[in-house]
Amino acid sequence: MRIDLHCHSTASDGTDTPAELVRNAAAAGLDVVALTDHDTTRGYAEAIAALPAGLTLVTGAELSCRLDGVSMHMLAYLFDPEEPALFAERELVRDDRVPRAQGMVAKLQELGVPITWEQVARIAGDGSVGRPHVATALVELGVVPTVNDAFTGDWLADGARAYVPKHETDPFEALRLIKGAGGVAVFAHPAASKRGRTVPESAIAELAAAGLDGIEVDHMDHEPATRARLRGLAAELGLLGTGSSDYHGSRKTCVLGEYTTDPEVYGEITRRATGAFPVPGTGGA
Ligand SMILES: [Zn+2]
Ligand SMILES: [Zn+2]
């Protein structure tokens, strides 16, 4: 059984529509795929409608959090998308995305980059606009060769010249909201140091004590030694360890199913969730 628990669609900053994502997941030989767009659940309906037979969809989201000034992402699985408190917090984070991206465009213009808001809005399309869209504009303009090269101290990394902070949820509050909506919480790429500062292991222990269910161990931004360390930490703290592609379609280089989650860990996630059930595919539209 091949299980990939972290994927993005055009509902946030992926390049596959939700329907394309589930079709591509089936074509990649996955049995289970999670749709985890940033701070939104609006890809669910399209993904469910298109879900091929033999593929199971885990509904989720990746929530933007901040702890002691460090940005971090919290994956939430199988929560009730209608639960009002978690819904309100997602709205608050999402409403901030346009002014924030516009702020980054303005800073880049001050640095002499001929970027425009129209360009970034075109790249984002229907998706909720984010830093990868601004980064893609920098690639289009020939400022940097790849999207990853835009996520550096020169351009868009946390605290970099053109960076604008966003509203992010306190992760302890996020845990409370996810649990309140019947969901399961997994700290995404906790040691992805290429993206900027990461939280210390002591904070992961505190989050574990506060109800965190798991950490993402196998992820493209973790070196093999980091994965081994995180696997040990998960065992020590009684956390589930997941593996996922963090697929973004053609925006990033990773492929669906590049890293996967152990079926036993997946089973435990589904047992703990009370907000929603995994959706079995029935053939798709
Ligand atoms: Zn993330
Ligand atoms: Zn992600």
Q: Which ligand is nearest to the CA of 7?
A: 2
Burial 68-99 (b: 16+ CB within 10 A, else e): eebbbbbbbbbbbbebeebbebbeebbebbee
Q: CATH number of the domain that 69 lies in?
A: 3.20.20.140
User: How far does residue 8's CA lie from ligand 2's centre (Å)?
Assistant: 6
Instruction: Report the separation in Å between the CA atom of 64 and the middle of ligand 1, taken as the mean of its atom positions.
Output: 8
Q: Are residues 193 and 276 in the same domain?
A: yes
| Same-domain status, 83 and 176 | yes
For 68, the 3-state DSSP assignment is coil
Q: Considering every ligand atom, which ligand is closest to the CA of 195?
A: 1
218 alpha carbon – ligand 1 mean position (Å): 13
Q: Are residues 66 and 112 in the same domain?
A: no
Residue 7 maps to a domain? yes
Same domain, 51 and 17: yes
pLDDT per residue as tens digits for the range 70-94: 989 999 999 999 999 999 999 888 8
Distance 72 CA to ligand 1 centre (A): 7
Range(s) of the domain holding residue 241:
3-93+167-280
If one counts the domains in the chain, the total is: 2
Q: From 183, 244, 232, select the one nearest 211 (Cα to Cα).
A: 183
273 plus 219 within the same structural domain: yes
Q: What is the pLDDT of residues 216-242, one digit of tens each?
A: 999 999 999 999 999 999 999 999 999
134 has pLDDT over 90: yes
CA 221 – ligand 1 centroid, Å: 10
Partners of residue 66 on adjacent β-strands: 71
What sections of 72-116 are H helices per DSSP? 84-95, 97-110
Within a domain: 160: no
Which pair of tokens denotes residue 121?
Answer: 């809005």
Residues 138 and 204 in one domain: no
Ligand 1 center from residue 29 Cα (angstroms): 23
* Same domain? 89 vs 142: no
Cα(98) to centroid of ligand 1, in Å? 18
- Asked, for residue 159, whether it belongs to a domain, the answer is no
